Structure 1
Amino acid sequence: MIKLFKPFVAAAIVTGLAATSAYAQTRVTYKSAKTTSSYYQMAVQIAEAMKAGSDGDIVVTVEESQGSVQNVMEVKARNGDYVFTTPPVLVSLAQGGKAMFKDKSDPAFDEIRALFPIPSLTMHFVMSDASGVTDFASLEGKTLLLGKGSFGAREGEKYLKLFGLEGKVEIADVELSGAVPALKNGQIDGFVTAGSYPAPNVIEAAASTGVSVLSLNDEQIAASKRARLVIPAGTYAGQDRDIVTTSLPVVAFTTTKMDEATAYALTKTYWEGKADMGAAAPWWNGVDRGLMANITGKIHPGALKYYTEAGFELSDAQK
């Protein structure tokens, strides 16, 4: 089993090269997220997996990031050792010079290539058993905590509008960090959170209070314009059936500046080490070959070589 670093460290530098190694050491910089984010913890786990799976030949330095947009923007100044995480939609926007990338176009964006998917940002509408809410229609008149400024808060607000609930649900003025205590004392009926599953705050709420995580129907998923994702039954305490929800895919990318051998080694080592990562951190168990469909752009030729050898099904647009 892969031994993981302690979470929430300020920086994680994975080092070590076997003295008897016959290969040159490959150094990679992995730009992830804020140190307080689960995605930073994932980056540390990936770094450890690369070290273990390559016998120390791949050395990954994890860098803190202020967000996915910054990760994409830094492509302009980085070299071939740069790996970063972001939702594929941001890569598409950057390459098209749209939204937050308007008037910031750069030829470097066209050289971005995918390596492998990591756990998606997964929407959770978490309702206490006491609220009696089991679907979106019965949310009317209830008190819901959306949080502030996060992807989950913005997405939750969007869904309330899409599903005809705007102005019909009371929004609690409580930070997301206080969601579980607020649910326990009846201050709120539910909360919205987005992150890799199983989500720690949902685990805590399910174990201590008893909750239902709402499922979306096909029409609601289509309206959200997000990827469909199924949280398997038994993921949370008291959950006896699958939860159908939405997600924002997240992928590890690099650029064409990275050589094929490095991209191949990173991708192969990632997939071969994923089972061990999943044994230590359950969010990795939600990553499988099905998530490859969420890669909407081109895959790096080195990674493509691995996927071809391993028998992955890929679209023409990804090749």
Structure 2
Amino acid sequence: MAIGAWVPVMGGPVVGILLGLGLGRLLGARVDTLRPGLAFTSKKVLQAAVVLLGLGLSLGQVLTVGAHSLPVMVGTIAVALGGTALLGRRLGVDQETRTLIGVGTAICGASAIATTSAVIGASGTAISLAVTTIFVFNVLAAILFPALGHLMGMSQDAFGLWAGTAINDTSSVVAAATVFGAAATSYAVVVKLSRTLMLIPISVWLSVRTHRTQERARQQAAADAAATSTAEAPAAGRRGLPWRKLIPGFLVLFLLAAAANSVGLVPEAAHAPVKWLTVLLTTMAMTAIGMLTPVASVREAGWRPLALGGALWVAVALTSLALQALTGTL
């Protein structure tokens, strides 16, 4: 947390997962003695962080941004998610990793990766790869965007919209926009927070998709077992989806937290400490995930996750500029 505060473009969660990877490798087999606590932190503490994240979201922020910025926001998200599906398969990136990189690029970096990984039950290796990939392009964006914005002669609002829709983590959005100007910073933060709201429908959709996939796998396993069984057994019937379990409990609490903040039930004075606690819990979970992640698996993934993240980052940045030009906001 201290290093993350000192270097905001990295943030506590990114530092945590990197230190966790190093510490896990240093401890070697001794990590097994810590496994119960690390497993609890990487799952339950992460879910608690997701719930607290909801307290910082407000549906009213979309209205603050204004309808003229929504086409750019929605268009960049569509490009990121669509590009993930197409390019991720071509590059041979596994589904978990490409989902996390896609949502991290489309929505809000590490926060989106934390939420999505909790929803789909992603492996530590996939989370480590996604967080590391997003971090690389966050740093590049914070360095390059202000210079490119001045080179293109962008206005404060236009740059704020570009940074808010094309840079991943909020810390990097603020870092880039602050260099460009105060007005750009204010606009970029509002756009970024509104973009974060898209976590709600995407999380629900991913939860439904994950349960459907698991149900099909169970049905296939039952059918295979019945086909290979020598004893006569009744055919496996199609079971309905467990609708009451489609949305995990922590995700329900996340939605309720966002709704409570949207109607003004969360005091303004509580936002800062809740945000700090959210970052703390996310950092704890990311550190635990890093310690549990086999470094060899990350190394074996090679250049493909970075190539996917880089391609999506460029596509989203160009799409944001193109949509601004089309809608007259550039």
TM-score if structure 1 supplies the norm length? 0.28
TM-score if structure 2 supplies the norm length? 0.28
